[in-house]
Amino acid sequence: MLSKIEEILREVKNFSASSKKDIESFRIKYLSKKGILSALFEEFKIIPPDQKRDFGKKLNELKNFIQLKIDTLHSELKKKPPSKIDLDLTLPGDSFNLGSRHPISIVRNEIISIFTRLGFTISEGPEIEDDAHVFSKLNFPPEHPARDMQDTVFIEKCIDSEGKIADILLRTHTSSVQVRVMEKQKPPIRTISPGRVYRNEAISSRSHCIFHQVEGLYIDENVSFSDLKQTLLYFSKEMFGEKTRIRLRPSFFPFTEPSAEMDISCKLCNGKGCTVCKYTGWLEILGCGMVDPNVLEYTGIDNQKFTGFAFGMGIERITMLKYQIKDIRLFFENDIRFLQQFKSAL
């Protein structure tokens, strides 16, 4: 048996490898369960007890040497420069799948593009906000239901710069960004604020606790409601087609007065009435109005000299109308089958 061990030791010392495949074959030959070393350990069981110590020592030394050899071969292989491979450059390349933008991103970018052509700039702000920027400076009274836990995700209470206790929360709309712009910038102001917002709502096919908004603000001297109407009419025709019609219905928002909700003519039935528009021929897409003078006062803008309008829309809502998607949850599930349908919309 000693002669066998010596012979194997010589073979191992003289072995060389040119690839990982050679090294793996070498390992299997000697160290696998059915390899040479396993066979030697089986023979070791029948060796007389007085000789086992010497044979056991030799076998362990052989095993350690083989493992060291394998490690050395791997190390040497890494140091070798890559071998030149003959390639036929006339052969066609391998195809690979291209990714696609998320439908929310596609529509968001389209909305931004339309308003930037009208001279609007882009403003961004924090998603974790304080009560003042989300509610108080937007003319929300203390008893307004939007402040309730049913609608707002509150995080904690803290002490603000005036020493008062203030709520910290996840913003419920991107109007908080507009407040920050009005605080820091003097009119004229023409900006849009795209971003993610949060509300404490049950998730269903038509609503979600996370969604995206684009809100717009224009403040200057002599800004009128007709300016608002023409801006939204231009947007609607650019987004949904030249034949799109709009209508404005009176509504109420704490931060605008007068306020309105805007509908567009249904694209599926061309205004004739269908199940999507509930046989009205109209689909609501956004809220808007003239900036309340109190909001201008809260943010340090002279409400006797300046007026303005504001509007806000949900990107998911626009996307569902544009691509006829019936379940809002599809936007958040990362289903590749769903997302791949938007490759052509890039």
pLDDT in tens, 134-183: 998 999 888 777 777 668 888 888 776 666 777 899 999 999 999 999 99
> Tell me, what's the pLDDT at 112?
96
- Would you state the pLDDT for residue 280? 86
- In the chain, what percentage of residues exceed pLDDT 90? 43
**Residue 56 vs residue 318, higher pLDDT:** 318
Average pLDDT over residues 271-276: 74
What rounded mean pLDDT belongs to the chain?
Answer: 87
Where in the chain are the domains?
Answer: 2-77, 103-125+177-345
pLDDT surpasses 80 at 247: yes
Residue 104 has pLDDT above 80, yes or no: yes
**pLDDT reading at 123 higher than 80:** yes
pLDDT at 54: 78
CB 43 within 8 A of CB 1: yes
Q: Walk across the sheet containing 128-130 and list its strands.
A: 128-130, 165-170, 154-159
* Structure confidence at residue 235 (pLDDT): 95
pLDDT at 205: 83
310, 179 contact by CB (below 8 A) = no
pLDDT of residue 176: 93
Average of per-residue pLDDT across 267-283:
78
Give the distance from CA 138 to its chain's centroid: 28
Give the pLDDT band of residue 324 (cuts 50, 70, 90).
confident
Strand partners, 158: 166
Q: Which of 3-7, 23-27, 152-156, 167-171 has the lowest mean pLDDT?
A: 3-7
Long-range contacts of 206-213 (CB under 8 A, 24+ apart): 206/328, 207/328, 208/316, 208/328, 208/329, 208/331, 208/332, 209/153, 210/332, 211/314, 211/315, 211/316, 211/328, 212/104, 212/108, 212/314, 212/315, 212/316, 213/173, 213/174, 213/312, 213/313, 213/314, 213/315
Whole-number pLDDT of residue 82: 63
Residue 256, classed as helix, strand or coil, is strand
Q: What is the pLDDT of residue 214?
A: 96
pLDDT score at 150: 65
Q: Is the pLDDT of residue 255 over 70?
A: yes
Fold designation for 103-125+177-345 = BirA Bifunctional Protein; domain 2 (3.30.930)
pLDDT value for 3:
76
Which stretch of 174-178, 200-204, 276-280, 283-287 has the lowest confidence by average pLDDT?
Answer: 276-280
The contacts of residue 130 (CB under 8 Å, 6+ apart) are 158, 160, 166, 167, 168, 169
**Predicted local confidence at residue 287, as pLDDT:** 94
The CA-to-CA distance between both ends of the chain, in Å, stands at 72
What are the backbone dihedrals phi and psi of residue 44, each rounded to the nearest 5 degrees, phi first?
-60, -25
Is 60 exceeded by the pLDDT of residue 265?
Answer: yes
Torsion of CA 80, 82, 84, 85, to 10 degrees: 130
Confidence of residue 80 (pLDDT cuts 50, 70, 90): confident
> Does 346 have pLDDT greater than 60?
no
**Residue 122 to residue 135: CA distance in whole angstroms:** 22
* Whole-number pLDDT of residue 182: 95
pLDDT at 231 over 80: yes
